[in-house]
Structures are given as structure tokens and as C-alpha cells.
Amino acid sequence: MEPIISIPYSEFKAIEILQTKFKKNKDYAFYIPVSRQQKGVDFILVKNGLKSETTRFQVKSSKLYSNGNKHILWLNNFIEKTSRENADWYLIFGLYPLITKNSTKKSKSIENWKAVTLCFTPEEVRELLTEEKFLYVQISFNEKMQITSINGTRGFKNNGVDLTAYQLEKRLDKIMK
């Protein structure tokens, strides 16, 4: 009998995006901790070969709040966790419903949902997050994947910082360098 191991959808989706660039036939592999109690690392990307390389990822996910085609992610401020240097990359993940003119309610079918994943180095996270006194971080975006605003009173230093360039798909070339 084979054991069944499950991972959160946010981690699965992040790995799925990363696999578009880091393919098995190019000697890349993904590893997840056996214990969900492992702090600081959700999965590891390994480049096998003569000189093996590893990159560690921490995924933060949020419940999503929607107001028309504006979506808001709320996360606990995790600046204190970035100081441990457990991860090489921090991913912020959110799943939002696709809204059409005919939509009357949110669908449970995964085809009617889309993901947004932002990718930061520990230094970038520390630069963006404020002091630990703020409990929450808010990131707002629209369905065209324009990350339009950040609430300056709830976790970020600068209100209105454009984070569009931090989408995981746009940063794949920076990972494993």
C-alpha cells in the first residue's frame, strides 16, 4: 500500500508554475517535507548534476475578499519569520473567482478560479514589510493581474507600490541563479 501525502493547493499551484521552467528532463526535482510541522520551508527545488543546487520556498496564502473585479488578499505580517533565513524565496498566493457578466455566484469548479502568486526574495520581503507592530498585510489587484495598491496602514511602508513585476511567472528567470 502506497501512503497518500497531501499538500495545500497553494503549494501545489506554485510548484506547477515552477515546473513550466524547471523541468524533470532538465534534471530538476521538487521535494516537500514529510512533516507539515517543518517550519520555514514548504518545498525545495533541486538541480541535480555534478554540482547540485537547491532553492527553498515558503508559501503564504490568504483568504481572498472580492469587490467586483477588485480582489484583496489579507495576510498576517510575517516579517519576523523572514529573519530566520529558512527560505530563499517567499511566495504570496491567492485564489480568486473569475467574474463574467453572467456570473451570479461563485463557482466551486476550479476552471472558474484563477491564481495570483507573487514571488519575493527575503530582502525584498523585509524591504516591503514594515515593523512587526502591524498585524496584517493587504495586497489588492484586478483581474488583468495588475497589482494596483497596497494598504500603507496595515503592513506595508509605501501605499500604492506596484507589485505587478513580482508575479511568479515574471520572475522564473531569477530563480536558481
* Percent share of the chain, pLDDT over 70: 75
Assign 133 a pLDDT band (cuts: 50, 70, 90): low
Query: What mean pLDDT comes out for the span 111-119?
Result: 83
- How many C-beta atoms surround the C-beta of residue 68 within 10 A? 8
CA dist., res. 164 & res. 84, Å (int): 27
Which of the pair, 173 or 129, is modelled with greater confidence?
173
Task: Tell me which DSSP letter residue 56 carries.
Answer: E
The span from the CA of 48 to the CA of 42, in Å, is 19
How does residue 89 score in pLDDT terms, banded at 50, 70 and 90?
very high
Q: Please check the confidence at residue 147 and state whether its pLDDT lies above 60.
A: yes
> Is the CATH number 3.40.50 carried by domain 9-174?
no
pLDDT at 130: 64
Identify the CA nearest to 151 among candidates 165, 168, 166, 163: 163
> CA 81, 60, 157: angle at the middle one, nearest 5?
65
Whether pLDDT at 71 is above 60: yes
Indicate the SS3 state at residue 148. Answer: strand
Give the mean model confidence (pLDDT) for residues 14-40: 88
Give the pLDDT confidence score for residue 159 in this predicted structure: 55
